Amino acid sequence: MTTNSGDRGGVKGGDARQTLTRQRRVVLRVIEESREHLTAGEIYEAARRELPRISHATVYNSLKFLKDGGFVREIGFGSGGASRFDRTGARHDHALCTRCGRLVDFELPETAELLRAAARRSRFRAESIHLTLTGVCPDCRAAERAAPG
Amino acid sequence: MTTNSGDRGGVKGGDARQTLTRQRRVVLRVIEESREHLTAGEIYEAARRELPRISHATVYNSLKFLKDGGFVREIGFGSGGASRFDRTGARHDHALCTRCGRLVDFELPETAELLRAAARRSRFRAESIHLTLTGVCPDCRAAERAAPG
DNA sequence: CTCCAATTTAGAATTATTCTAATTCCACTT
DNA sequence: AAGTGGAATTAGAATAATTCTAAATTGGAG
């Protein structure tokens, strides 16, 4: 309504701007700087500290834009009703603990090979591959040994 | 309030029943018989055709029960705000089309090996592994060739 | 400067999920 | 056959997540 200040990081020239606007950059930075995997709601709150007038719609739109552009990834889990978002940066995978719900990053080297195999099987043109391990995290394993159930 | 008819498939003996009740079985069958990946809402509608008095809570509870028991898997995607559910049956993976959003099943043989590697890296005790390929599905590839972008 | 299309905003509307209290169910006792 | 106790279900309200709408703002192009 009043402030939508600052440049838009113009890149395009023409008129179909479609660029990394200020708000989108803030959303991206929030995601990149967080060590956790945030929900859209948490991203909204964090972005608001910098752009107090940013709206839900803009956060969701930015998230869509960033997802389509490959900057972030959306990961949906049973962990409560909300999607979480994750920087794409260096490719990596996730492990989800079935006891405590913790979501941890890890890297697996042999995924290039895997990508080709999966593309062949699915007949898709592959863009990326992502893998989720479910199991019991080290902490919960320790807890189990301490008090077996 | 009136009908909660039929047996509960008793298995347990004691009193901690925790079994495949009628409603849970219906929910499971809905998922198994569907060729698509349904949302909780869709499952609720389908289950209601058989158990008209089933409630949202029961569907969500059943889903949780079946998930914990390894009967179904919850898959969350950008495909709109709701999780989708999928029979676990034969292990398989998913491919998500970035153009049309279609979600397709496929199988990859080399996942046993992968499971071990992932468990090693993440230090989790592995229960299962799941892999999602994102890319362009055969139909969209064909459409692209017809009218390039 | 004016126009234009993309973008953002505020907030309402819609959907999805969880919660609550009351009820029903059934394996087990008595 | 009636009683007990705890798991499960129900109806519907409450809460949370996501999408929508109309109006306003933006910045480059003309």
Q: pLDDT tens digits for A51-92?
A: 999 999 999 999 999 998 889 988 876 556 788 999 887 778
The tokens 């060590």 sit on which residue? A35
pLDDT at residue number B3: 42
Question: Taking CB atoms and an 8 Å cutoff, what residues of chain A touch B124?
Answer: 95, 97, 104, 133, 135-138
Give the tens place of pLDDT for each residue, B91-113. Answer: 788 888 877 777 888 888 888 88
- Note whether B121 contacts A: Cβ–Cβ < 8 A: yes
- Strand C closer than 7 A to residue B53 Cβ: no
Are B96 and B137 in contact by the 8 Å Cβ rule? The answer is no
Range with lowest mean pLDDT among A76-80, B36-40, B45-49:
A76-80
Count of A-B CB contacts under 8 Å:
135
DSSP letter assigned to residue B35: S
pLDDT band at residue B124 under the 50/70/90 scheme:
very high
- Note whether B134 contacts A: Cβ–Cβ < 8 A: yes
Question: Taking CB atoms and an 8 Å cutoff, what residues of chain A touch B142?
Answer: none
Reduced to 3 states (helix: H, G, I; strand: E, B; else coil), residue B132 is strand
Distance CA(A110)–CA(A129), nearest Å, equals 11
Are A71 and A87 in contact by the 8 Å Cβ rule? The answer is yes
Region of B61 (left: φ > 0; alpha: ψ -120 to 50; beta: rest) is alpha
More confident position, B9 or A18: A18
Strand order in the sheet with A93-97: A103-106, A93-97, A125-136, B125-136, B93-97, B103-106
Q: Spell out the alpha helix ranges (H) of A11-53.
A: 22-33, 40-50
Are B59 and B47 in contact by the 8 Å Cβ rule? The answer is yes
